[in-house]
Amino acid sequence: MVNGDKIMEAIGMIDDEIIAEAKKPVKKRFGAKKVLALVAALIIIFAFAVTSNAVKPFIRNLFKDTKQFVEMLKPVNVSCISEGIEMKVISANVAGSETYIYISMQDLEGNRIDDSFDLYDSYSISRSFDGYGTCEKVDFDKETGIITFLVTVGSNNGKNIKNGKITFSVKESLGGKITFNSYIDEIDLKKFVLSSETKQITSRRGAGYDGTEEMKKFVDNLESLVPKGKLASPFPGVTITAIGYVDGKLHIQLLYENIGETDCHGSVRLVNKEGKKIRNFCSVSFWDENGNAEIQKNLFGKEYIQYFDSYDEQVFEISPEELKNCRLFGEFSSHTEYIEGNWSVTFDIKNIY
């Protein structure tokens, strides 16, 4: 086995121009320099059993930066189709205690996959050994509509992986991302009638604050404004439902619709006449108990209410006099394509040696 110093020495022997050439995008065929660079990379990774943590980031970047390099190594070609979308394991390679798996997805029936395509944290990585797994998007080809992911699976004990089965599964995906970054002049803060009616927060989802005990106590005891209906709708799925002061702090309340199928989220901030941006110092999110909901059952058969719409209430330190000289600015994002399916591929590591 060669240690990390040796491997880095070997890397240093490769001409910088060759490495630069290898990282350039290649559409159809390899030039001589690219082939040489790929062969050099093969020598680096597979001639030595590299387990050094210092070298692993280099290997990961190589796999991400040279798509054709991964495709020409250990083909697997295990695939499945669900909801008209094919998921395929293109190739997999073992480098010491980690296995690198190159997975693609392609829409066979339409154009639902784009550069914003997201597995929405619905993927799972099962393995027959004690370890860990990660997944990251590495490429999208506009011409073919193929999106690719690099899945990394490693052993917890740091020992070389020699056998075992790996299953990669996906249940949901999102695409068609849309964004908003602009002033919300539907709300004129000079003329706006502020509210102060509050209610207790139930069905909390989460909170954002600086992590101190004092702020945690403040957020835990926070009451929300009573929603006043549609004050403004600056973006699909986003409604400003209340603005007002509670105990001297400005609250701005937003409602995000159907977040489970759109991942609709965002934030607002205030911009004064000098152009200074004033951000919230804390926020709290909670479900809309009067909105869309369904009765669901968990794994044990127990029923629970699944809400779909979520409020987000942001809190600012600003006086009413300062507020009159501010404009409201919003940053939001959402998705127009939600696909629920059942994609799953399994392969045996011993078959890629």
Q: What is the pLDDT of residues 147-205, one digit of tens each?
A: 999 999 998 888 888 788 899 999 999 999 999 999 999 999 988 888 889 999 999 99
**Looking only at Cα atoms, what is the longest distance across the chain?**
73
24 secondary structure, DSSP code: S
Handedness of CA 40, 46, 50, 55 (dihedral sign): positive
What are the pLDDT digits (tens) for 196-247? 899 999 999 999 999 899 999 999 999 999 999 999 999 999 999 999 999 9
Write 270-277 long-range contacts (CB < 8 A, 24+).
Answer: 270/189, 270/316, 270/318, 270/323, 270/326, 270/327, 270/328, 270/329, 271/183, 271/326, 271/327, 271/328, 271/329, 272/322, 272/325, 272/326, 273/325, 273/326, 277/329
Q: What are phi and psi of 185, to 5 degrees?
A: -85, 0
pLDDT at residue 60, as a whole number? 52
Q: What are phi and psi of 157, to 5 degrees?
A: -85, 0
pLDDT at residue 227, as a whole number? 96
**CB neighbours of residue 267 within 10 Å:** 16
Cα 250 from Cα 243, distance rounded (Å)? 7
> In which element (H, E) is residue 35 found?
helix 32-46
pLDDT at residue 65, as a whole number? 53
Planar angle of CA 113, 115, 116, nearest 5 degrees = 85
Cα 85 from Cα 14, distance rounded (Å)? 40
**CB neighbours of residue 304 within 10 Å:** 9
Work out the angle between the directed axes of helices 56-65 and 32-46 (0-180°, nearest 10).
150
pLDDT at residue 353, as a whole number? 64
Please, what is the average pLDDT of the chain?
A: 83
**CB neighbours of residue 143 within 10 Å:** 6
Q: 132 and 166 in contact (C-beta within 8 Å)? A: no
Distance of CA 176 to the CA centre of its chain: 14
pLDDT at residue 62, as a whole number? 55
pLDDT at residue 156, as a whole number? 87
Q: 161 and 94 in contact (C-beta within 8 Å)? A: yes
212 secondary structure, DSSP code: -
How distant, in Å, are the alpha carbons of 68, 128, 254, 272, 311 from that of 291?
49, 43, 14, 34, 11
pLDDT at residue 167, as a whole number? 93
Residues 6+ apart with CB under 8 A from 274: none
The stretches in the chain having pLDDT less than 70 are 1-74, 353
The model's pTM is: 0.76
Q: Report the chain's terminal Cα–Cα distance, integer Å.
A: 17
How distant, in Å, are the alpha carbons of 189, 266, 267, 328 from that of 331?
18, 5, 6, 10
pLDDT at residue 54, as a whole number? 43
**CB neighbours of residue 90 within 10 Å:** 20
pLDDT at residue 79, as a whole number? 95
Give the residue among 101, 119, 107, 202 at the shortest CA–CA distance from 146: 107
